[in-house]
Amino acid sequence: QQQQHHQAAKDATMGENGQKEDKNTACASCYNTIEAERHVAAVGQLWHAECFRCSVCDVRLSSWYFEKDGLLFCREDHWSKFGDRCQQCAQIISGPVMVAGDHKFHPECFRCDACRIFIGDGETYALLERSKLFCGACYKHQHCTLLDTVAKGISDAKRKVPHSIRLVEIPWSSARTERIRLAAAPDEKLPFGGPGAIGGPTSGCKSVRISEVTLNTDLMSLRVGDKVLEVNGTPVRDVPLENLQSMIENSGKVLQLTVEHDPHLLADQQQQHHQQQQQQLGCADGGGTMVCG
C-alpha cells in the first residue's frame, strides 16, 4: 500500500555517558552502525541522514518522502512510477481528477474536442476510440449525422461503430414505456446473454451488460451488449444485480448511465455464442459419430 510520510530527522537516543544505547543499530541503507549522530526513523527502520535517499534518483530526502514496498521515493519519482497520467496531456495528475472509465484527466483537460467547452462532473460526455472527447451536445449532433448517413444508403452493418465510453442521461418518468434490462457476467469470456441474467445469483458481479433495451429517442445511443460502468455515479462492480436494476427502475430522477461500447469484444462474444448454438444444433441432430452427454 502506498503511503506518504512526513517524518522529521531526530537525534539518536543517548545514554548518560554520551554513547548511543544500542551500539548494534545498523542503517537500513548502508548497514553500518549508526553512531551518536543525527538519524532518520522511517518505515520502521533507522537511516543515516546522509543515506536517507530516493531509491530512483538518489536525491537526499528531507522531511517529506513517499514509500512503497519498503522503498523510498521523492515526490517526482513516486508520481512518475505510480501516479496517474492525464489521458489528454500525458502529465502526472497530482490533484483533482476527472474519470471516464479507466481513463483519467486533469479537470482543465476534460473539454470537448469540438466546441472546446469544459465538461463538468456529472455532465454528459462521450470518449470515442479512447482519444476523442465530446460533450453530450456535440456527440448527439455527431450521432445524428451518422444516422443520416445510414439513411442515405450506407447500411448499419457496414458502418463501423467506434469504441466509446459515454455518460448518458435518460429523463425519468413513472409512465415511460422504455425498458433497460441488465445481465451479469462474472467473467468477460461469458456471453452477455448467459446464465448471469436477472433471476440468477444475487452476489455482486464484475461485469454488467445491457441485455435488453427499448430503442427510442432517449435510448437510441444504448445497445444490447454495452458494458455498464456506473449507475447514477455508483460503480457497478460487486454490486448485486437486482440492486442495480432497482436503481434503474426506481431512480425517481434523471437516470445517468456510464456505459462502454467495445465492438471488438462484442464481436468475439457473438462469435462464441454462435459457435455454442452450432454445437447445440449438432447435438440435437444426433448425426455422424458425435456423442453428446
Name the burial class of residue 220, with classes exposed (0-12), middle (13-18) and buried (19+) by CB atoms within 10 angstroms of its CB: middle
pLDDT tens per residue, range 180-221: 888 886 554 433 344 333 334 444 556 889 888 875 655 557
The mean predicted confidence, pLDDT, of the chain is 74
DSSP character for 61? P
pLDDT tens per residue, range 41-54: 888 888 898 999 99
DSSP character for 33? B
CA 190 to CA 197: how far, in whole Å? 12
Phi, then psi, of 176 in degrees rounded to 5: -70, 150
Report how far apart, in Å, the C-alpha atoms of 225 and of each of 63, 81, 180, 181 are.
52, 35, 12, 11
Residue spans per domain, the chain? 39-81, 159-186+205-271
159-186+205-271: same fold as 39-81?
no
Among candidate residues 128, 130, 125, the one with its CA nearest the CA of residue 257:
125
CATH node for 39-81: 2.10.110.10
Report how far apart, in Å, the C-alpha atoms of 158 and of each of 150, 153, 161, 264 are.
9, 10, 9, 15
Strand blocks (E) in 31-143: 39-42, 45-48, 64-68, 71-73, 98-100, 103-105, 125-128, 132-135
Q: Is the pLDDT of residue 103 over 80?
A: yes
Which residue matches cell numbers 522531511?
Answer: 63
CA 177 to CA 163: how far, in whole Å? 28
Q: Is the pLDDT of residue 292 over 50?
A: no
Q: What pLDDT was estimated at residue 181?
A: 86
CATH node for 159-186+205-271: 2.30.42.10
pTM summary value: 0.61
